Amino acid sequence: MAAETDATAPGGLAGEMEVEAYRRLFPLAFLERHLRESVRPDARRLAEARPTTVALGAVSSAHGSALVRLGDTAMLASIKLEVMSPPAETPDQGSVAVEFHMPPICSPLVRPGRPAEAAPVISKALEDVLMSSGMLNLKELCLISGKASWVAYLDVYCLNADGSLFDAALISVVAAFTHLEIPLVSVGDDGRVFTVGGNEGKTKYELVNREKRKLTLGDIPFPLTCALHKDSILVDPTAEEESIIETSVTVVLDSSGRLVSIQKPGGGVTSMAAIKACIGLAKERGQKLKEILTDSIEAMEVDQAE
């Protein structure tokens, strides 16, 4: 009898089932009910992003890698370097090839055997931001002008998709490039450039680059996606919120506060006041992400020292 009473109490099992049923049957009404109280279904404030973590060196076989968690969204970025002959128009530059992957394991919306519609869109957006932000100096990827340079194959894997995919992907890309280490290379008798590993290789071969090194990164781009519903701006929306709210704006600012890009994929007409509000929120978010990235770099350096 006591168990039955507990189950039917307002805060009991039956009450929770009724709330969940209402959430599924009337998702917009459920969301708006929360927004009237300036809170979201996951108990966050409207301008509050989800907890964000960055782990560098997540893939031991890669030259640079990072695992990023943005709430329940998880991204893994991996960079592999290969030597290539540079094109004639840019003989003193390397290149970056970007590929974003959404395997079926990341979301029930992704069907096996069918590429996710969002994947090529995010791939192109990542490439555009990398090239326009000035973070990378492609001349640093040159080995021998006109003969050999690095191509950085950047693969980003969505391990779990729960909203703000571009944000998590770009954060993982930035983190992977901060972790990237350029390997040692030498030139063979046949003129072929090859990588050299281990201390033995340093003495056995004549090296093109004497020491492994990091890239010198310019201003780093930091993203923020906002979902816009009536007069409410929801920072870092979840997949549930994205499925309900049609209008979203993604702002990318660099570490100096300069605007890199604004993306608005469809949705209703957005006022300039709302855009400015999103940019202001992106500035605050950028500062926080900069701190998170710095902390992850310091943590990695401590681990390497030990």
Map 173-229 to HEC letters. Answer: HHHHHHHCEECEEEECCCCCEEEECHHHHHHHCCECCCCCEECCCCCCEEEEEEEEE
In order of start, what are the domains of the chain with their CATH numbers? 45-180+215-304 (3.30.230.70)
From first to last of the 306 residues of the chain, give the pLDDT tens digit: 344 344 334 456 666 778 888 888 888 999 999 999 999 999 999 999 999 999 999 999 999 999 999 999 999 999 999 988 888 899 999 999 999 999 999 998 888 877 788 999 999 999 999 999 999 999 999 888 888 889 999 999 999 999 999 999 999 999 999 999 988 776 655 556 656 665 444 445 555 555 567 889 999 999 999 999 999 999 999 999 999 999 999 999 999 999 999 999 877 778 999 999 999 999 999 999 999 999 999 988 777 666
Please list the residues that pair with 142 across neighbouring strands.
149
Counted residue by residue, the chain has a size of 306
**Helices (DSSP H) in 86-164: which residue ranges?**
118-133
How many CB atoms sit inside 10 A of residue 189's CB?
A: 5
Return d(Cα 196, Cα 201) in angstroms, integer.
Answer: 6
